[in-house]
Homo-oligomer: A and B are copies of this chain.
Amino acid sequence: MSHPTPTGQSTADGFVSADLYTQIQQFYARQMGLLDDGRPDDWADTFTTDAVFAEASRLNEPLRGREAIRASSRARQERLDAEKIDFRHWLGMLDVRPQDDGSVRTRAYALAMRTPRGGRLEIFASVVCRDHLVRVDGSWKVRQRDLTHDGSGLD
């Protein structure tokens, strides 16, 4: 049986504060917005200089360092521009786990979708995004990103 208690109180669930949770939500809305707006340089700047970007099912080796991420992102944007494709990254179902050192580890679901000029929307991939976020001079940055595509047979 359940014993309801007043709403709005702290729970035994280990959830993070509203302040932290909505910060991370806003971080992702803006970060993915930069990528989708065709601003690969600004997007790359949301990673730490020593960031590692791993996409298990696509890349042979992780991208190591912000400048490698920047170069990859610029090349990707040039392809999208040439093909006149609008791209969207949706993140949702966010879970945030604070770490002892003040950083956070997150997990979110992501949908990757694209619409060619004058064409139809295609939602083509469901991905699980696991990040390690740290603060640099007061701003959240991604130090590590691990993407796992559904259907890849990986966890």
Where the two chains meet, the residues of A that have a C-beta atom closer than 8 Å to any C-beta of B are 1-8, 10-13, 15-23, 25-30, 32-33, 48-50, 84, 86, 88, 90-96, 98, 101-104, 107, 109, 111, 113-121, 123-126, 134-141, 143, 149-151, 153
Chain B residues within an 8 Å CB radius of A23: 11, 13, 15, 18
**Is A123 a contact partner of B120 (Cβ separation < 8 A)?**
no
Query: Closest 10 A-B residue pairs measured CB to CB?
Result: A12-B138, A115-B151, A115-B150, A18-B18, A86-B150, A4-B102, A2-B134, A18-B22, A21-B22, A15-B26
Among A26, A101, A102, A137, residue most surrounded by chain B Cβ atoms (within 10 Å): A26
Asked if residues B134 and A4 are in contact (CB atoms below 8 Å), the reply is yes
The verdict on A138 contacting B13 (CB below 8 Å), with A120-B124, A126-B88, A150-B115 known, is yes
Contact B12 A93, beta carbon cutoff 8 Å: no
Q: Which of A27, A86, A113, A124 has the most CB of B within 10 A?
A: A86
Partner of A121, one of B1, B3, B125: B125
Looking at the assembled complex, report how far the CB atom of A117 sits from the nearest CB atom of chain B, in whole angstroms: 5
State the Cβ distance, A17 to closest chain B Cβ, in Å: 5
Interface centre among A107, A121, A124 (most CB of B within 10 A): A121
Cα A90 to Cα B117 with chains together (Å): 22
How far, in Å, is A97 (CB) from chain B's closest CB?
Answer: 10
